[in-house]
Amino acid sequence: MKIVVFGANGPTGRQLVRQATTEGHAVTAVTRRPEAFPPGGPLLRVVGADVHDPVAVKEAVAEQDAVVSVLGVPFGRKPVTVYSAGLTHITRAMAGHGVARLACVTSTSLSDEESPGEGLFFRKVLEPFIVRYVGRTVYEDMRRSEEIVRDSDCEWTIVRPAGLFDAPAVSAYRMAAGPRLPGRFTSRSDLADALLRQVVDGLDPRAVVEVRTVEGTPGFIDILRKEAMGGKDR
């Protein structure tokens, strides 16, 4: 299968590219910094593009069978447009080239429903504080991107992970289109596999799915410290 990955140079994107080429898929990895992308063998093509550039996005999507978006930006005060502009240009490019299958990442924090076993402090204090203050501009744009994807004619799947952490291998994770799953963490390896399974195996079209890692999850404080300090493993 020919798969184009936007956000390929992020920690989840790099795992996804590795997993996909190992499975024998031909991958187009899109990044603004192609010179910084690690070598990946004959099945890998690295393309330099900013998703705010519709022409560059359209070129990257040409002749592909499926699209995965793991685009992301850190929390900050500046307005964020990468998710909404990215998914606008990606879905238009897909329509223009007749490419149907799309899987894209947002976050479980966009869910309006309570997840099983969720503590009151997390649900009522910590998560709202992150969504409404610390990460407000990111979550607002993620939400816009979900609307753009739902309104598109693509065979889309929105994949929502919980708090991300790095793990050495894919585990026996859970993925479901609802009701909500318990747990607070998703490893980037599991998220990458979930996205790949969605587009390669044609699971859950036109659905929002959650992904949760159930074994080897870290402590909450460890994660906060590591992500806040930008210490992601690549």
Q: Give residue for tokens 């859950």.
A: 204
185 closest CA partner among 166, 207, 209, 208:
166
The residues near 7 (Cβ < 8 Å, ≥ 6 apart) are 13, 30, 31, 69, 70, 71, 72, 105
User: Based on CB atoms, which residue is closest to ligand NAP, 106 or 152?
Assistant: 106
Binding-site size for ligand NAP (CB under 6 A) equals 24
Residues from 157 through 196 that contact ligand NAP (CB under 6 A)? 161, 163-164, 188
The answer to whether 195 and 218 are in contact (CB under 8 A) is: no
User: Based on CB atoms, which residue is closest to ligand NAP, 98 or 226?
Assistant: 226
What is d(CA 101, CA 121) in angstroms, rounded to the nearest whole number?
A: 38
DSSP class of residue 176? E
Q: Which stretch binds ligand NAP (CB under 6 A): 27-35, 95-103, 166-174, 196-204?
A: 27-35
- Considering only 4, 5, 9, 155, the residue that binds ligand NAP (CB under 6 A) is 9
CA atoms within 13 Å, Cβ hemisphere of 223 = 16
Q: Does 107 bind ligand NAP (CB under 6 A)?
A: yes
- Considering only 70, 130, 194, 209, the residue that binds ligand NAP (CB under 6 A) is 70
Query: C-beta of 11: minimal distance to ligand NAP in Å?
Result: 4
User: Based on CB atoms, which residue is closest to ligand NAP, 40 or 163?
Assistant: 163
The answer to whether 72 and 112 are in contact (CB under 8 A) is: no
Q: Does 57 bind ligand NAP (CB under 6 A)?
A: no
Query: C-beta of 36: minimal distance to ligand NAP in Å?
Result: 6
Q: Is 145 helix (H, G, I), strand (E, B) or coil?
A: helix
List contacts with ligand NAP (CB under 6 A).
7, 9-13, 31-33, 50-52, 70-73, 82, 105, 107, 161, 163-164, 188, 227
